[in-house]
Structure 1
Amino acid sequence: MMLPLPLGEFQAYLFDCDGTIVDSMPLHYTAWRQALDEWKCAFPEDLFYAWAGRPTLDIVDALNQQQGLNMPVDTVVARREEHYQRLLPTAAGIPGVLHHIEAAHGRIPFAVVSGSTREAVTASLDALGILDRFDVLVCAGDYTRPKPDPEPFLRAAELLGVSPHACLVFEDADLGIEAAVAAGMAAVRVPQPRQG
C-alpha cells in the first residue's frame, strides 16, 4: 500500500522507528511481557500501545508507581533489550514507509527519532539492511524531554541543518504526532499493521 504524503517541498524526512519503519511493536510487546513477568508486573497490551513512543526507562518507572512495585529500572530495561534482540531477526519492514525511504534516499536527508535505545534502533535498521540510509539517529538519552515534547524532533532537524518547517515526520504513535505538530513539522500517520 502506498502511503500518501501531505503536499509540500520537504527538505528532510524524520522517521520514528518502531511501528513506523519496522513492524516491531508486537516483538517489543512480547519482550516487555517476558521481562516484566520476572517481576510479576502486569502490562496490558492496550496500555503498551497507548504508551508507544515513551522511553523504556519512563515505562518501568511508571509501572513501578502504578503497581506499587520496586523493579530495578536498569535491570528490567536490560532484560527487555535482551529478549527483543532475540526476537529481532523475525522483524519485517512497513512496506509503505520503506517505499518512501527508497524513493527519496540520496535526494533529501533522513533521521530516525525514537524513544528506543540507540542499540535497539541500530539493530532494527540493520536487520532490515537500511541502517546506512539514515544521516542522523536521535534516540533515548539524546534529549531530556521525550515525545510528546518537540525536543527530539527539533534536535534531529538541528543535526540535519534543516528548518523544522521543512521537515516531514513519519509516525505511528499519538505521542509522536503531538511532538511533530508541537515542533511545527508536517506529519504523516503510519497505520499499524495490527490495525488492518
Structure 2
Amino acid sequence: MVLEKHPKAEALIFDLDGTLSDSLPVHIATWHKVCAHYNCTFNEKIIEEMTGMPTISFAERVIAENNLQGVDPNEIVKMKQETFWDHASLLKPHQPVVDLMLKYHGKIPMAVGTGASRRSAEVQLEKLGLTKYFDAIVTADDVTKHKPEPETFLKCAELLGIKAENCQVLEDGVLGMEAAKTAGMYLIDVRPFTYENFGQ
C-alpha cells in the first residue's frame, strides 16, 4: 500500500521503531533474552502499550511485573540495548514508509522523532542506510517529557523551522499518535496505513 503526504504538510516527522524500522521482532526477541537472564518472563503486551517510551520505562515495568527485588533498571537497560545493538543486522526497513521518505527527500524538511536513545537511533538509521535523509533527529536523550507528551515532535518542528500545525507525523505507537494529536500535527497511522488529519 502506498502512503501519501497531506497536501498541506510542509515537513514530515517519522517515528523510528515500528515505523521506519521494522524493529519490533528484534526488540521482542531481545527482551525475551534479557528476561531469561533474570529468570523471569517478558509480557509482550508491554510493547503494544508502551511503544514510544524510553527503555528505562520498560525496564521498570519488567521489574515491577516480575517482582525483581534489588535489580537495577539501569543494568537491564544496558543489557537490553547492547543485545539489541548486537543484533541490529537483523533489522529491516518498513518499506512503504521509507518509500514516502525517499519521495520527499530534498523537497521538504524531514526529521526523526523517537523514544529510542540517541545511540539506538543512530545504530538503526546507520544499519538501514537512512541517516543522510534527515535534517534533524530527536531522541529520548533530547527531551524531558516523552510520548504521549508532544515535546519530541514539537522539538522536531522547531529544529526544522516549520510550525507544528504544518508538520505531518508517521507513527505506529498509540502513545506517539497521542503526542501528534496534542501537537496539532497531521498524522499517518502506519499500522493499518490509514490517513488521519489532526491539523487545523
TM-score by length of 1: 0.92
SS in 1 for 2:87: helix
- Give the structure 2 partner of residue 157 of structure 1: 157
SS at match of 1:23: coil
Contact 1:148 1:179 (C-alpha < 8 Å) held by counterparts: yes
Gaps of at least 5 residues in structure 1 are none
Indicate the SS of the match to 2:169: strand
Matched, 1:132 2:132: yes
For residue 18 of structure 1, give the secondary structure of its aligned residue in structure 2. coil
Q: Which residue of 2 aligns with 1:107?
A: 107
SS of 2:188 mapped into structure 1: strand
CA distance in 2, matches of 1:192, 1:137: 25
Cα distance, 1:192 vs. partner? Answer: 7.3
Whether 2:52 is the aligned partner of 1:53: answer yes
d(CA) in 2 for partners of 1:46, 1:66: 12
Aligned 8 A contact 2:13 2:156 in 1: yes
Whichever residue aligns with residue 12 of structure 1, its letter is A
How far does the alpha carbon of each residue in 1:137-178 deviate from its partner, in whole angstroms, 9 at most, with x for none? 111121111101111111111111110001000000111100
Equivalent residue number for residue 71 of structure 1: 71
Aligned-partner residue type, residue 61 of structure 1 = E
Q: 1:24 is matched with which residue?
A: 23
Aligned partner letter, 1:166: N
Distance in structure 2 (CA, Å) of the matches to 1:44 and 1:52: 13
Residues 39 and 71 in structure 1, CA contact (< 8 A), matched pair in contact too = no
Conservation of the 8 A alpha-carbon contact between 1:88 and 1:127: yes
Distance 1:8 1:171 in 2: 18
CA distance in 1, matches of 2:40, 2:151: 31
Runs of 4+ with >4 A deviation = none
CA contact (8 A) 2:46 2:58 kept: no
TM-score (norm 2): 0.90
Q: Which residue of 2 aligns with 1:39?
A: 38
Match of 2:176 in 1: 176
Match of 2:139, as an amino acid? C
1:62 CA drift (Å): 2.4
Q: Percent identity?
A: 33
Cα distance in 2 between the residues matched to 1:192 and 1:46 = 19
Q: Distance in 2 between matches of 1:15 and 1:117?
A: 15
- Unaligned residue ranges in structure 2 (runs of 5+): 194-200
Verify the 8 A CA contact 1:136 1:156 in the aligned structure 2.
Answer: yes
Q: Which amino acid aligns with 2:26?
A: L
Aligned-partner Cα distance in 1 for 2:144–2:109:
24
- The residue aligned with 2:196 is none
SS in 1 for 2:141: coil
Query: Take 2:55 and 2:95, find their aligned partners in 1: how far apart are those partners?
Result: 26
